[in-house]
Chain A
Amino acid sequence: MALTAFTGPVVSADASGARRGGRIALLLLLPGIAYLLLFFLAPLVSLVITSLQTPSETVFGQYDFTFNWQNYGEVIGTYSEQILRSFLYALLATVFALLFSYPLAYFIGVVMRRWPLVQSLLLILVVAPFFISFLLRTLAWKQILSDEGPVVSTLKALALLGPQDHITGTPIAVVFGLTYNFIPFMCLPLYTTLERLDMRLIEAGRDLYAGPATTFRTVTLPLSMPGIVSGTLLTFIPAAGDYVNASSQFLGGTSSTMIGNVIQSNFLVQLNYPAAAALSILLMAIILVLVGVYVRRSGTEDLL
């Protein structure tokens, strides 16, 4: 799996005097692994089981296990629009976040290298949004982008927005919110790779008469691929499953519902557990396939 895409360089077990340890290793591992099996793997299994249930004929609100594979066909039929939309929004947010973050990470990681203190202070500014409630910062954008807010009135004054137009409640606002909320996830891994970029290689590119654009395309960009891969994964996966930005109390509207919203309302409002479970399994399966293909194709085989 794309393990190291997330965790950085693998720590070799041999490097630090690893011992063969039967009992101690087992004792150290067992509680944590049992915890994950019980509260991560078992829930996934119960999700699969739930996704194959049929409403009980006798008791309302009860479901019986019946290998009801049609649930999957039904949710795909009913919610194909939301499923496609989620991945489209997540893709757009990932691309925008990458375009936004790359110059920033380059500046902090490469240009500011001579001043480590400035580097750390700038990084703190990048991660600052982490430290204020995710929901409150999204609501702050809602207020700023609302019809009474400064952005809409400015755009209307410039006639870039018609008198009846809104920003909140549109797909634009949802993609904007997703992009904003996940920028730090993109920025940090990019910074980590760019910070270790060996500048002598770029000098070498110059010495070989490559222009700045060619040097960037053939040297800098390939060398920063590990950061790009983990940054895009860290943005794409949570963005595809997010339902806060798209929910109508926040930045979304009825035309921008994502798969997360559908899962949430099926599970917690309509109590249609099988549909919610089928959608969850579907979401996870699609993400795992996409991530697998992506990591393979991005030419970072060693990340696997």
Chain B
Amino acid sequence: MSGNTQAGLVLGQEIGAEELAPAPVRRRAYGFSAGKWLLPVYCTLALAFLLVPIVYTIVFSFNDSVKTNIAWRGFTLDNWLNVCSEPGVCEAFGNSLLIGVTSTTIATVLGTMIALALVRYRFRFRAATNLLLFLPMATPEVVIGAGLAAQFLSAGIAKGLGTIIVAHAMFCLSFVVVTVKARVASLDPALEDAGRDLYGSSSQVFWRITFPLLLPGILAAALLSFSLSFDDFIITYFNSGSVNTFPTFIYTAATRGIPAEANVIASAVFLLAIAIVLIGQLSAQARRKRLAR
């Protein structure tokens, strides 16, 4: 998520906040009495406005375009059926997947370890550690991108897949820590104590009790990290050299016109992501209902 790095944090916060007790339910209508309908109408329009470019992108993935995908020329399924016919699109997409998976793995492992240490242990330099984790989230992406590029330049490292992965894992790390930390904090230490009381070794306690309980948080962090990596443009562009990711492909293609196949990939990713989020929300809802009974 280019430029969206910071927002991922909020998503993480959402995921972490799930465990909190529900706020008191209101008992009667609030808000401005004159605007009983004003607010719902405004919100419908506002949400519709937010969806405009998404609908546009999906609709134009079905456009029977020739060279540029600007004017509507008629409906076709060709773009969806032959996504890889456009040179470069699928290669860039494949690179993005590879980078996303690798950097997410690095960030998730390192981030989970830090989160465990932050919640479970008291140590010196705690404030400094927190600051070091916070700063990457408060630094504009151009600065991070230019900094890494300057570092690779002075170290004589050629830009490519490796440098992109290193950069992505770096900015995803803080988001993983924040997301997993919420989960570690909500964990009941009594469960681990019980494991120890039953003569479980510390590694048994970790892998049989702690890790399975943390898994939803870790998965959420990994998904967040992957989506941040997948859509990052600014940092990537500074450190990609000649390698194209999906966003850098779109950026360079923007001058001559975006092929409809790019819309196909973006739409497919969008629909898949929405499906994952929907399923997650609905199953959380079902779980809450079951627990309430």
Q: Which A positions have Cβ atoms within 8 angstroms of B?
A: 1-3, 6-8, 11, 13, 15-22, 24-26, 28-29, 31-33, 35-37, 39-44, 46-47, 49-50, 100, 103-104, 106-108, 110-111, 113-114, 116-117, 120-141, 143-144, 146, 148, 180-185, 188-189, 192, 195-200, 202, 212-213, 230, 233-234, 237-244, 249-250, 259-260, 263-264, 267-268, 273, 276-277, 280-281, 283-284, 287-288, 291
Q: With an 8 A cutoff between CB atoms, is B113 at the interface? A: yes
Chain B 103-127 per-residue mask, 1 if CB under 8 angstroms from chain A, else 0:
0001000110110111111110010
A244 touches B233 (CB 8 A): yes
Interface string of B122-136 (1 = CB under 8 A from A): 110010011111111
> A241 CA to B13 CA in the complex, in Å?
23
User: Which residue, of A43, A183, A212, has the highest number of chain B Cβ atoms within 10 A?
Assistant: A43
- Evaluate contact between A18 and B26: CB separation under 8 angstroms: no
| Inter-subunit contact A267/B146 (CB<8 Å) | yes
User: In the bound complex, how far is the Cα of B51 from the Cα of A49, in angstroms?
Assistant: 44
Which residues from chain B sit less than 8 Å from chain A, CB to CB?
1-7, 9-11, 13-14, 16-17, 20, 22-27, 30-33, 39-40, 42-43, 46-47, 50-54, 56-57, 60, 70-71, 106, 110-111, 113-114, 116-123, 126, 129-144, 146-151, 153-154, 166-167, 169-170, 173, 177-178, 181-182, 184-185, 187, 189, 227, 231, 233-234, 237-238, 246-247, 250-251, 254-255, 258, 262-263, 266-267, 269-270, 273-274, 277-278, 281, 284-285, 288
Docked-complex contact B129 and A29, CB < 8 angstroms: yes
A98 to B148, CA, bound (A): 32
Select which of B4, B110, B182 is within 8 A of A11 by beta carbon: B182
Which residues of A sit under 8 angstroms from B251, Cβ to Cβ? Answer: 135, 244, 249
* A39-B170, A125-B50, A244-B3 given; A46·B147 CB < 8 A: yes
- A134 engages B57 (CB within 8 Å): no
Inter-subunit contact B185/A15 (CB<8 Å): yes
Residues of chain A contacted by B32 (CB below 8 angstroms): 212-213
Q: How far is the CB of A151 from chain B (nearest CB, A)?
A: 11
Nearest CB of chain B from residue A108's CB, rounded to whole Å:
8
- Closest B residue to A132 using CB positions: B270
Of B120, B150, B237, the contact of A16 (CB 8 Å cutoff): B120
Are A137 and B140 in touch, CB under 8 angstroms? no
Given A21-B121, A134-B1, A277-B150, the answer on whether A40 and B144 have CB atoms closer than 8 Å is yes
Question: If A140-B52, A277-B146 touch, does A189 touch B13 (CB 8 Å cutoff)?
Answer: yes
CB distance from A258 to the nearest CB of B (A): 10
B220 CB to nearest chain A CB (Å): 14
In the bound assembly, the distance between CA atoms of A47 and B131 in angstroms comes to 19
Q: Which 8 A-B pairs have the closest CB atoms?
A: A241-B140, A43-B147, A140-B53, A25-B121, A32-B110, A188-B10, A28-B117, A137-B53
Q: Assess whether A36 is in contact with B136, with CB atoms less than 8 Å apart.
A: yes
Q: How far apart are the CA atoms of A102 and B270 in the complex, in Å?
A: 26
Cβ A133 vs Cβ B247 within 8 A: yes
Of B7, B130, B154, the residue contacting A50 (CB under 8 A) is B154
Alpha-carbon distance between A288 and B25 when the two chains are bound, in angstroms: 39
Q: Determine if A106 and B54 form an interchain contact, defined as CB atoms under 8 angstroms apart.
A: no
Q: A29-B117, A110-B31, A133-B231 are in contact. List 9 more A-B contacts (CB 8 A).
A: A31-B113, A103-B46, A125-B50, A127-B11, A128-B274, A199-B27, A244-B2, A264-B238, A268-B237
Return A240 CB to nearest CB of chain B, in Å. 6
A24 contact set on B, CB distance < 8 A: 117, 121
Q: For residue B258, which residues in chain A have a CB less than 8 angstroms away from its CB? A: 136, 139
Kindly list chain B residues whose C-beta atoms are within 8 Å of the C-beta of A243: 142, 234
B14 and A46 form a contact (CB under 8 A): no
Is the pair B285, A234 in contact by a Cβ cutoff of 8 Å?
no
Are A18 and B136 interface neighbours, CB within 8 A? no
Looking at the complex, which one of B4, B25, B117 makes contact with A114 (CB distance below 8 Å)?
B25
Closest partner residue, chain B, to A198 (CB atom): B24
* The one of B16, B26, B133 that contacts A113, using a Cβ cutoff of 8 Å: B26
Find out whether the CB atom of A185 lies under 8 angstroms from the CB atom of B7: yes
Contact yes or no, A280 B120, CB < 8 A: no
> Closest Cβ of chain B: how far from A124's Cβ, in Å?
6
Q: Is the CB of B119 within 8 A of A11?
A: yes
Kindly provide the distance from the CB of B158 to the nearest chain A CB, expressed in whole angstroms: 15
In the complex, what residues of B have CB within 8 A of residue A134's CB? Answer: 1-4, 231, 233, 247
Residue of B47, B148, B170 touching A35 (CB-CB under 8 A): B170
A3/B134 contact (C-beta < 8 A), A16-B185, A136-B57 known: yes
- Complex CA gap A19/B122 in Å reads 6
Q: Is B50 a contact of A123 with CB atoms below 8 Å?
A: no
B272 to chain A, nearest CB (A): 9
Instruction: Please indicate which of the listed interface residues A40, A133, A140 has the most CB atoms of chain B within 10 Å of its own CB.
Output: A133
Q: Which of A125, A131, A132 contacts B47 (CB 8 A)?
A: A125
With contact pairs A11-B119, A36-B133, A107-B43 given, residues A237 and B6 touching in the complex (Cβ less than 8 Å): yes
Q: What would be 10 A-B contacts, judged by CB atoms less than 8 Å apart? A: A7-B178, A11-B119, A19-B122, A24-B117, A117-B285, A122-B47, A130-B11, A131-B274, A134-B2, A134-B231
Q: Contacts A7-B178, A21-B123, A136-B57; is A238 near B5 (CB within 8 Å)?
A: yes
Whether A13 pairs with B122 at a CB distance below 8 angstroms is yes
